[in-house]
Amino acid sequence: MTPLSPRKQQILRALVEEYIHNATPVASETLVRKYELPFSSATVRHELAGLEEANLINQPHTSAGRVPTDLGYRYFVEHLMQESALLLDEQRLIRHMFYQVQDQLDQWVRLTASVMARLLHSAAVMTPPRSSESRFKHFEVLAVTDLSVHLVLVLMDGSIQQQRLLLEKPTQQEELSAIAARLNPLFQGKNADEINEFLVTYAPAPVERIVANGIVRILEQNGDMQGDVFFGEDIVNILDHTAGSAVGIRLAPEEERAERIRKIIEDLEHKRLQKVMDDIEQKRILPVLASHLPSTDGIQVIIGGENQWDEMKDVSLVLARYGQQGKVGGLLGIIGPTRMQYGRAIAVVRYMAEVMNELLADVYGCE
* CATH code of the domain in which 200 resides: 3.30.390.60
pLDDT in tens, the chain (367 residues): 678 999 999 999 999 999 999 888 999 999 999 999 998 999 999 999 999 999 999 988 767 789 999 999 999 999 999 878 899 999 999 999 998 887 777 788 888 988 998 898 888 888 888 776 788 999 999 999 988 999 999 988 777 888 999 998 999 999 999 999 999 999 998 989 999 999 988 888 999 999 999 999 988 877 554 444 455 554 444 444 333 333 344 445 555 655 665 565 566 566 666 666 666 655 566 666 666 566 556 888 999 888 777 777 888 889 998 887 666 788 899 888 898 999 999 999 999 999 999 888 887 665 5
Same domain, 192 and 333: no
Same domain, 115 and 191: no
> The whole model's pTM is what?
0.70
Domain count, the chain: 3
Instruction: Supply the range of the domain harboring residue 316.
Output: 88-131+227-364
Same domain, 99 and 68: no
Residue 218 lies in a domain: yes
Same domain, 275 and 351: yes
Same domain, 100 and 46: no
Domain end call among 37, 57, 80: 80
Find, among 206, 178, 209, 224, the residue nearest to 198 by Cα.
209
Same domain, 234 and 295: yes
- Supply the pLDDT for residue 264: 57
Rounded Cα–Cα distance for residues 194 and 209 (Å): 15
140 strand-pairing partners? 152
Same domain, 245 and 358: yes
Rounded Cα–Cα distance for residues 180 and 64 (Å): 72
Residue 161 lies in a domain: yes
Same domain, 110 and 241: yes
Same domain, 142 and 21: no
Domain end call among 58, 80, 102: 80
- Supply the pLDDT for residue 238: 44
Q: What is the DSSP string of 118-142?
A: HHHTSEEEEPPPEESS--EEEEEEE
Task: Indicate which CATH number applies to the domain containing 63.
Answer: 1.10.10.10
DSSP type of residue 101: T
Domain end call among 166, 192, 222: 222
Same domain, 280 and 328: yes
Cβ–Cβ < 8 Å for 335, 276: yes
Q: Which distant-in-sequence residues (6+ apart) come within 8 Å of 232 by Cβ?
A: 113, 123, 124, 125, 277, 280, 281, 335
Same domain, 61 and 200: no
Task: Indicate which CATH number applies to the domain containing 343.
Answer: 3.30.450.40
- Supply the pLDDT for residue 181: 96
Same domain, 296 and 329: yes
Residue 1 lies in a domain: no
